[in-house]
Amino acid sequence: MRRDRPILSIVLWTLLSLATLFPIYWLFVISVKPAVDLFTTPNVILDAIYWNNYAEVLTNETLRRYMINSIIISTGNSVLVTLLAFMACYALSRYDLGGKENIFFWTITNRMAPAAVFLLPFFLLFTQVFTIGDWKLYDTRIGMILLYCTFNLPFAIWTLRPTIEGIPKELDEAATVDGSSTWQVIREVIFPLARPGLAVTLILTWVFAWNEFLLAATLTSFNARTITTGLSEYVTSTGTEWGTMASIAIITLIPALIIFAVVQRHIVAGLTFGAVKE
């Protein structure tokens, strides 16, 4: 039985990997087929490659603008959220704040409500309240970056807090005795040790901002429109352009895969940091 366990594990992991990758393969097959073949041959069979769908997407200036918007908004939001969460977790773990557990719980409750609950209030804030002359937060990149902080910051604090608490306070005290200021302790002691957790927080918040659809579709029109909302433009009253939508979806996977490849060595360490204490 012991000899069969490795084989059984390999079989199970292989089946799980195939089940995970099959939708992506199916999406790629749809993206390289002309519209006629999608309804005449089984979708899972790749008999010929039709690159016109990708050519149409890559030469579309509007879609390129949407892609740039998505990259700027997702990156700006993830960096800002990770920085704010890092400082918040440091304060919650290092200072004896009264009612800090209540503060932490109140913060995470903001993540529990669905995005649709905030839709109308944010729309009014973006279009009527936060206005300076003709300038409004509506349909701006900075507006979307700040908007996503509402949902990503509580999650980032919840994710990063165990990492900061897992760093012994004795290191702070030793650095302070050596003459380091609070900012030097944060920069030279806490930040380097918290890199795995920061990497996990950064990638997860980036993916959340990259994939968000409802708020982006409501609070943007053209200037700050993201690539996820651009997909909906190919669902029209005359039909759905499945091949073009599939090619856009494949292209949107590439930035996420690149980021995962860059920080993957930190992900496991970040998820387990602080989980075991002596």
State pTM to two decimals.
0.84
State both tokens at 250.
Answer: 């494949």
Q: Is residue 278 part of a domain?
A: no
Burial class (CB in 10 A: 0-12, 13-18, 19+), 141: middle
Kind of pairing between the strands at 135-136 and 131-132: antiparallel
Phi, psi of 131 (to 5 degrees): -130, 140
pLDDT category at 276 given cuts 50, 70, 90 is very low
Q: Is residue 148 part of a domain?
A: yes
Helix 141-165 vs helix 195-211: crossing angle, to nearest 10: 150
* Judgement on whether residues 90 and 177 belong to the same structural domain of the protein: yes
Domain tally, the chain: 2
pLDDT category at 278 given cuts 50, 70, 90 is very low
pLDDT digits (tens, 9 = 90+) for 132-175: 666 788 889 999 999 999 889 999 998 888 888 888 888 888 88
* Judgement on whether residues 183 and 79 belong to the same structural domain of the protein: yes
* Judgement on whether residues 2 and 69 belong to the same structural domain of the protein: no
Identify residue 72 by its one-letter amino acid code: I
Q: What is the domain-level CATH number for residue 98? A: 1.10.3720.10
* Judgement on whether residues 9 and 119 belong to the same structural domain of the protein: no
Give residues with Cβ within 8 angstroms of 43, minimum separation 6.
26, 29, 30, 33
* Judgement on whether residues 20 and 71 belong to the same structural domain of the protein: no
* Judgement on whether residues 132 and 220 belong to the same structural domain of the protein: yes
Closest among 56, 105, 92, 109 to 190, alpha carbons compared: 92
How many whole angstroms separate alpha carbon 14 and alpha carbon 11?
5
* Judgement on whether residues 18 and 154 belong to the same structural domain of the protein: no
* Judgement on whether residues 34 and 97 belong to the same structural domain of the protein: no
The shares of helix, strand and coil residues in the chain, as percent rounded to the nearest 5, are 75, 5, 20
* Judgement on whether residues 66 and 22 belong to the same structural domain of the protein: no
> In which domain, by residue range, is 231 found?
59-272
Mean pLDDT of 209-233: 89
How many whole angstroms separate alpha carbon 83 and alpha carbon 97?
20
* Judgement on whether residues 42 and 117 belong to the same structural domain of the protein: no
Three-class SS state of 234: helix
* Judgement on whether residues 32 and 119 belong to the same structural domain of the protein: no
Identify residue 21 by its one-letter amino acid code: L
112/70: higher pLDDT: 70
Give residues with Cβ within 8 angstroms of 176, minimum separation 6.
185
Residue 269: pLDDT over 60: no
Q: What is the pLDDT of residue 277?
A: 46
Burial class (CB in 10 A: 0-12, 13-18, 19+), 115: middle
